[in-house]
Structure 1
Amino acid sequence: MSPTRSAFELHAHAERDEFIARHLRMAPDEGEIRLFDQRMLLMHGYSLAALRRELIERLGLEKTRELFTRLGYQQGVEDSHHLRAQVGGDVAQAMALGPRLREIEGFVRNRAVEQMQFDTESGQFRGDYYWQSSWEAETHLREFGVSGTPACWMMVGYACGYTTAMMGRPVIWREIECVAMGHERCRVIGQPIEECDANDEALRFLQVEDFISAPRHRAVVAGADLGPASDSGLPDLVGASAGFNAVAYRLKRVAPTDATVLFMGESGVGKERFSKALHAIGPRASQPFVSVNCAAIPQELVEAELFGVEKGAFTGANAARPGRFERANGGTLFLDEISSLPMHAQGKLLRVLQEGEVERVGDTQVRKVDVRIVAAANRDLREAVKAGEFREDLFFRLNVFPILIPPLRERREDIPLLVNVFMQRYAQRFGKGIAGVTRRATEALQAYDWSGNVRELENMIERGVILADEGASLDVQHLFSGGEVLPDLAPATVMPRLPQADEAPRQASDAAPIDTAQQQLDALLAEAGSLDGIETLMMQHALRQTGGNASAAARLLGLGRGQFEYRRKKRGV
């Protein structure tokens, strides 16, 4: 028999429904539905079922499964961020609201086999649920008959994304029973990735392409250095955000060609790692990959480094040596920070790209080279052209296939996956056991601005592993000890605590006094005059609190940067 709902559970659900309803805005005259300020769509289930069926027919079952699971994962991450902000960072309340939210959205009916257990300080997690009335399972059964594998793909992805974002470390849910397989009901179990059985299939949805690394779920020998690359020789590329996946898609498209690729993005986003992946999955993979940081070469030596030098060409040139182009012949040459090249070197580089031949410094012999060029810039090259600091003709030669890598602050859903990779790497390198990441550290990592992007995150985790005690969790003092400005983690709005399913409703005598809060609300409304006025005051206050930093102000209010800017423009703040 399935678990039944007690009076306490019904009361808890009523409280949660009321809470969710207060954050649901339906504005048909504006053509919008918003839930926790996210744009929502009320769409026909049969149309999504038709799309699912067509994708299975075109892409196959496994690819469609990965696609829908990844879609659910991204939805879960977004819901977790918005809900957590609304309940003032109270993880317990947000955890309780997540399953109910998915019920209200019409996907499934959740029944806990046992109460969800989690500890955000130690990273321990255990979830065991029955899913009844699963739209996905019923749709799959109707369209394809009895399946050999579970079919609740979006729901599994949603559960993974939601709990991963809440816990700050990868949590994997696996469907062990499914109505689509002929079972009476669906059943799922959730665990931290380290406790899961070695099951690569459960992680496939996080690999948008084959060259993307799945989060590690098995420990390696203590003290082993994982290094920057995975077992396949590819660099670690881990992510699940839409921005990360868009880069992976473009990378796969251009990899089989010889087209010049220009990676753009802030310093530390991983341009060299992506360039190595591009080389590794392309037709030149067996040939050399040569990297050069143009900013690190003295201006007077740039030509010698790139094109080579003959003996006696200048003082100190005691022997002839090939340049980077010759060493990369047949393979790939990665030109990092290419905007740092002096103008005279830019002209000679352009000639090499056009003619496919180099001339060493101090030599008259022309040497043919066959090199794929991959360049990277951490500044806008178009602006550099306008400023007269970069040749326009060279820019057009390089800008054949541009790929913009988003900064880490615009793909925060990747942070738990990256933290997992870096934490395991350095724990194994230093031979130290690390339990996980504390709740406060997780919140700080999510709120931090990440001016140094992925490189800064990796350095921070390495430092934290060194400072943390054996068997302890990484905490704020371990991570933010290098002069970083710790973000203000005070919640913008602390909502009343909602009752848990196993708690009795509090009596009126148990309630905290509300006179002070009521008076504050009355004063606020008197000053603002309307809900729009209150929103304007909150935005102005948030900007004052953060010194005009729009990104920090958005986080303080529990909004995304785009949402904040939209409201800011609308209110004229």
Structure 2
Amino acid sequence: MHEKLIEQFNLRSRLRFNVDSGHIWLGENRMLMFHAQAFGALRKELFDTLGAKRAKGLLLRMGFASGRHDAELAGKLSNQLNAYDAFQIGPELHAFEGLVKPTILDAKIDWERGTFYGEVLWENSWEAESHIQHFGVGDDVACWSLVGYASGYSSYFLKRFIVFREVECTGKGDPRCLIVGKPAEDWKFDDDYLDYFRPDNVECKLRQLQEDVRQLKATLSAQQGPGGQLVGNSPAFRGAFDLVNKAAKSPISVLLLGETGAGKEMFARWLHDHSERADQPFVAINCAAIPHDLIESELFGVQKGAYTGAQHSRPGRFERANGGTLFLDEVGDLSPAAQVKLLRVLQTGEIERLGDDQTRKVNVRLVAATNVNLQQAIAEGRFRADLYYRLATYPVTIPPLRERKADIPLLATALVDKIAPTYHKKIEGITDRAMQALLAHDWPGNVRELENLIERGVLLAEPGGQIELEHLFAAGAPGNQPGAEIGREGFVADIVESNRGRLYEALLDEGFDLDAHERRLVELAVRRANGNLTHAARLLGITRRQLAYRLKQDANAAE
């Protein structure tokens, strides 16, 4: 049964080693390979420093989380199976990961009612072996992380809290390790066993509270504001944010510089929302999106009859932003005429609607943004130097996403939380492999591109599931190298060779005709070479004379 399940679900092909990138993958989950002795030493240190009770709880909860992850993988592998067969993948995964060899002795499961009873025999438990090595045979069971795994795995499948307990353990001198699992309410605990599944006691909560306060202080400025999200804690992000933060309460004009999609409008909104004008309008206009012959009327307004079709007077963006903030995006694309009028407004605080000779006072805090090199535009005569010096009183450069990749996990998580409700979905985050692909990407479109990818991922992900690699990149993920996998004999093999091996095995299982396949392969090579026998022979790895001989033999056989 063990080998049959491993082959049925291609578990070996799902475990991949990529030495070049330093990754080990099991499906979408990044795995780590530790020396058992080193992990055992860490386990011993937990007991020595935290005490037995807290160490047991920590190991159990760690195993619980691992079991849930493997249950998700098992669910994806078993779409065509009945529930019980799918459930049995768990013990195989546990063995496949080198933790223990489980054998299900008894399993009574009613999936509709959610009832469960299970007994599992364990052989070669790494945890029992490690415990004996460091502490000797004792009076208590030892396989806490493994028990947590079984509980987490079963709880995920049953959709209710299943508790396993080790009733026999080689770590306390028993001839075997044996665990029993039931729903939590079916146990009649006369001790504090269930406490191991809960977060630690008051002391632990106090430490967590202190850690929460520390993190809050460190990331307070990166939290979501009323007008949008500014998320990040990388040095590049912090440098830009600190400058914006210092300018927020002042009336100074701010020029935001940076690539398209880097988040300049988000910074502008944050500036407004944390200024003394926060209760007044925030008005934004993309200067590059408005035709040059309309930009002046959009900015300064138009008086009735100013031109054919001007049936009504209407205020421009400056008047609508009066008392608040006006955000001029892509200001480097303004026409020369609009630049002149904008300069006058900044100098006098007055505007004139198109076709009107009446001046109107406006009180506007100006925030401008551009991805254009304004110094170069000045040198080429495309931008006025005097306007530049008015706008660039306080320049802030927003770093591109490729220079703040440490912020990608924070940004991606925030975007999932923002986007998922609009699709009426609950998404449990992003898989390790998908996150690794996000970190490997070059991000020419910056945060805007990330938001688009996350939205695609939310749309394609299963409700209640995670965003996987295939959900993100339509054209293939960056740096997605297949690596190597485990062969039948247990050795790491090149994935291409492994795939070839599986192909050969499938051909043999179907009833292989060597002569027929050789003829088809020769025909394919000749067809691909457009009849050029020298080229076809090279494709087949033989000489032209050998190929000609085979073709002659095939022709004779056909007659």
Note if 1:242 corresponds to 2:200: no
Q: C-alpha separation between the residues in 1 aligned to 2:330 and 2:458?
A: 30
Note if 1:93 corresponds to 2:8: no
Q: CA deviation at 1:110?
A: 8.1
The counterpart of 1:294, out of the listed 280, 287, 292, is: 287
Q: C-alpha separation between the residues in 2 aligned to 1:84 and 1:296?
A: 48
Note if 1:315 corresponds to 2:260: no
The counterpart of 1:114, out of the listed 50, 55, 59, is: 59
Instruction: Give the equivalent residue in structure 1 for 2:212.
Output: 202
Instruction: Give the equivalent residue in structure 2 for 1:489.
Output: 480
Contact kept, 8 Å, 1:294 with 1:340, in 2: the verdict is yes
Note if 1:384 corresponds to 2:377: yes
What do the CA deviations read for 1:399-451 (whole angstroms, capped 9, x no partner)?
Answer: 11111111111111111111112212222221123233222211111111111
Contact kept, 8 Å, 1:255 with 1:282, in 2: the verdict is yes
Summarize the Cα distance change of 1:96–1:259 in structure 2 as closer, same or farther, 3 Å threshold: farther
Q: How many residues align?
A: 329
SS in structure 2 of the partner of residue 321 of structure 1: coil
Instruction: Give the equivalent residue in structure 2 for 1:412.
Output: 405
Structure 2: gaps of 5 or more residues:
1-17, 43-47, 74-197, 494-559
The counterpart of 2:472, out of the listed 467, 476, 479, is: 479
What do the CA deviations read for 1:271-329 (whole angstroms, capped 9, x no partner)?
Answer: 11111110111111121111111011111011111111111001111111111111111
Q: C-alpha separation between the residues in 2 aligned to 1:95 and 1:269?
A: 39
SS in structure 1 of the partner of residue 481 of structure 2: coil
Q: C-alpha separation between the residues in 2 aligned to 1:95 and 1:358?
A: 69
For 2:353, the aligned partner's letter is R
Q: C-alpha separation between the residues in 1 aligned to 2:220 and 2:354?
A: 42
For 1:323, the aligned partner's letter is G
Contact kept, 8 Å, 1:289 with 1:333, in 2: the verdict is yes
Instruction: Give the equivalent residue in structure 2 for 1:278.
Output: 271
TM-score (norm 1): 0.51
Q: C-alpha separation between the residues in 2 aligned to 1:294 and 1:322?
A: 17
Structure 1: gaps of 5 or more residues:
1-82, 104-108, 124-173, 190-198, 214-229, 495-508, 514-573
Summarize the Cα distance change of 1:510–1:368 in structure 2 as closer, same or farther, 3 Å threshold: closer
Instruction: Give the equivalent residue in structure 1 for 2:297.
Output: 304
The counterpart of 1:212, out of the listed 201, 207, 222, is: 222
Contact kept, 8 Å, 1:84 with 1:94, in 2: the verdict is no
Contact kept, 8 Å, 1:288 with 1:331, in 2: the verdict is yes
Q: C-alpha separation between the residues in 2 aligned to 1:297 and 1:207?
A: 42
Note if 1:252 corresponds to 2:272: no
Q: CA deviation at 1:234?
A: 3.2
For 1:489, the aligned partner's letter is N
Q: C-alpha separation between the residues in 1 aligned to 2:259 and 2:447?
A: 10
The counterpart of 1:437, out of the listed 427, 430, 439, is: 430
Q: CA deviation at 1:210?
A: 4.4
- After TM superposition, the structure 1 = structure 2 runs for residues 69-468 of structure 1, keeping only pairs within 5 Å, are 87-88=22-23, 91-93=30-32, 113-114=58-59, 116-117=62-63, 202=212, 205=215, 208=218, 210-213=220-223, 233-468=226-461
Larger radius of gyration: 2
For 1:246, the aligned partner's letter is G
Q: CA deviation at 1:176?
A: 6.5
SS in structure 1 of the partner of residue 222 of structure 2: coil
Summarize the Cα distance change of 1:93–1:360 in structure 2 as closer, same or farther, 3 Å threshold: same
C-alpha RMSD of the superposition: 3.9
SS in structure 1 of the partner of residue 396 of structure 2: strand
